[in-house]
Structure 1
Amino acid sequence: MSFHENLRYYREKAGYTTKELANLLNISANTYAGYEIREREPKYQMLCKIADLLNISTDELLGHSSHTPKLLGNKDDEKLISTINELLTLANSNYKTDIQITKIDNDVIYFKNNNSNIRNEYHVNKQILINALNNINKDNLKKTSDMLAVYLSNTDKKLLISKLQNKLKEASLISDNTIREKEFNSIIKAINTVQLSTMDDKFYKNYFKDNDK
């Protein structure tokens, strides 16, 4: 497709109106219309800005890329939820888990594993998840669901370990030596158990990036 066709395609996929995108680019609606309707091409700096907002490469925007269109855009919440639920159904069956989406907003997606002994609600960066799902081989549903399940499980466990470490700090304030030692041993045992069940992140780290930043 040509630049102006790609621009319209990816704008609509991202969920922006022409006016919204023009405002984000700090240009007039008429200037933007020149790009999408009158087939003018912007200068390189503006091209990069458009690509960043639409979460695509400049090659994709110009039609130079051989990659297939992305599965998801940042505002495709209904499609995103449907895609994740489809993957989680398969993952929950394979791993005997019960990970569910609890809510989604502009920047993060919230999950809960209802099979967990301590039922944490935790969240992941929405854009990181979208990027990963766009980059994993979408034809291999099992591979994608496995990666998602391990990533979410490890994210849950990292949060749990952090909470247990905070409990260690609270336990250190207990004045009674016997009670304090008993609490310490219980918490350390729980931390070790969680760490042992945490899977190697090499399985997914090339796709799910920068979640800890």
Structure 2
Amino acid sequence: MKFNEILKNLRYDIDLNQKELANKLNINPATYRNYENGNREPDFETLISISKFFNVSTDFLLGQSDIRNYESFSQKKLEEPEIPDDEKQLLNSYRKLSSELKAEIRGEIKGILRTSQEQSASLESESSINKKII
């Protein structure tokens, strides 16, 4: 999407007309109209002013990113991984263990994973042999 389209959509989101928004941004209404019509682009200072007003990144305004602002992106990244309760309990229990016991558990987990991978590889091998026989 182009700058002028993004700007227009942002203005629609806050339900202002061009003149009202131009006044809030301290921009001449005719100049603002030219931004939305795609006849003119703002200078850096104005671009930054617009991005601050709408709380969006300049990258978003210029159509270079779908991320409206980096704060919400960072917050979303922090909130994304929802850890199930049983895994939280496991982690809390693990944290209470001594270093030696933690090392032992890590070793056990590695062994279990290795065995699981070997079993998967064996099943895949059997499956491919059976397909060749059929």
Q: If the length of structure 2 is used for normalisation, what is the TM-score?
A: 0.50
Normalized per residue, which structure has more helix?
2
Normalized per residue, which structure has more strand?
1
